[in-house]
Structure 1
C-alpha cells in the first residue's frame, strides 16, 4: 500500500507505524531548545554566559556559525520525517533534475543509520553536562543551558528507531517484489 494516492512506486511499501511517525516528528523538537538558545545568543542575549564568557560570541563569525548550526541541525532533524513520508520514497517533483525519481532505500537506510550512530556518539556526554567546569557561565546559565541540551541525547536513538522502521517496511516490500 502506498502512502498517498498521488504517490507511485515500483514496490508497494507498508504505511509506517504510528510510533515511527511520532518519533520522526519528535526529532525536530529535541533539536529545537538548543537551537533557539543559540539564536537568542546571535540576537545579543548572553544566554547564561558571564560578560567575559559571552565576548567571543559577539563576533560576526561566531554569530554566523551559531545561526548556521541551528538551522542546519533543524534541517538534518527534519530529514528524519522523510523516513515516514512519501518524499522518503520518491523525490518531490518540484526538485530540479531529480524530482520524481525513486529514492534508493538502501542508500537511505545506510546514511540514516550512520547519521543516527554519529548523533548518538556526539551527544552521549550531554547527561553529564553539570560535571564539567563552565567557568564562563553563570550558575543559572549553566543549569539552563544544561537543561536545553538534554533533549539532544534522544536525537540519535530516535533517528535509529525510525530508520529501523523504514528498513523493515522496505525489506518486506523487497521480498514481495514489484507492485501489480
Structure 2
C-alpha cells in the first residue's frame, strides 16, 4: 500500500481520493505544455505568445486548484498556515472549505456535461460536423493522445465531491465546541 499523508480521523479512501485529484489533472496539463512546446499533439500548433501564456496558465491554475483538494485531508485545511497574514493560525470553518469545494465540483460537473454534449452534437468537429475540418487533432494518433490525457479529468468532480463531503462530515460530526 502506498503511504498517503493525512490527518488522524481522515478515512483512507478520502486521503487516497484527495491525492488522486492532482494526478488526474496532470496529464491534460502536460498535453497543453507539449502543445506550447511545439510537439505534434494537435492538428495546428498554438499561435503567438499570448495564446501560449493562456494555455500554460490554464495548466498552472487547474493543477493549483486540484492541489487545493489536499487541504481537505491535511492540517492546512483545518488551521490556516501561520505564514498567511492576518488570518494565519486561525481555524478554518468547515463551510469555508466545503462551499468552495462543492461549488468547484458543480462547475466541473457542468463543464463535463457541456463537453459530452458538445462532443455528441459534433460541435468540436469544425464546419458541418465533418471530422478533421477545424478540429483539435488531425490524426488518429493525436486523437488517442488527447483522449488519454483528458479522460482522467472525468474523475475530478466526483473525487472532489466525495472528499469535500467526507471533510464536512468529519469536521462537523466530531468537532469540539471551540472549532465548530
Q: 1:109 to 1:130 in 2, by over 3 A?
A: closer
SS at match of 2:29: helix
RMSD (Å) for aligned C-alpha atoms: 2.2
Alpha-carbon deviations, 1:50-74, whole Å to 9, x = none? 2xx32xx121111000100000000
1:34 pairs with one of 19, 28, 34: 28
Does structure 1 residue 20 correspond to structure 2 residue 14?
yes
SS at match of 2:147: helix
Deviation of 1:123 after TM superposition, in Å, equals 2.0
Structure 1: which 5+ residue stretches go unaligned?
Answer: 5-13
Alpha-carbon deviations, 1:6-46, whole Å to 9, x = none? xxxxxxxx621010000001000000000001011122223
The normalised TM-score by structure 2 is 0.81
Alpha-carbon deviations, 1:92-148, whole Å to 9, x = none? 112223211111211211111111111122123556887542524222111210121
The answer to whether the 8 Å contact 1:38/1:67 transfers is: yes
After TM superposition, the runs of 4+ consecutive aligned structure 1 residues lying more than 3 A away are 124-132
Deviation of 1:169 after TM superposition, in Å, equals 0.5
Aligned length: 162
The answer to whether the 8 Å contact 1:33/1:149 transfers is: yes
Residue equivalent to 1:117: 106
Range with greater deviation from structure 2 (159-168 or 129-138): 129-138
SS at match of 2:86: coil
The answer to whether the 8 Å contact 1:24/1:83 transfers is: yes
SS at match of 2:80: coil
Distance 1:77 1:149 in 2: 14
Pairs within 5 Å for 1:1-180: 15-47=9-41, 49-50=42-43, 53-54=44-45, 57-124=46-113, 132=122, 133=125, 135=132, 136=135, 137-139=137-139, 140-174=141-175, 177-178=177-178
Distance 1:87 1:30 in 2: 22
Residue equivalent to 2:128: none
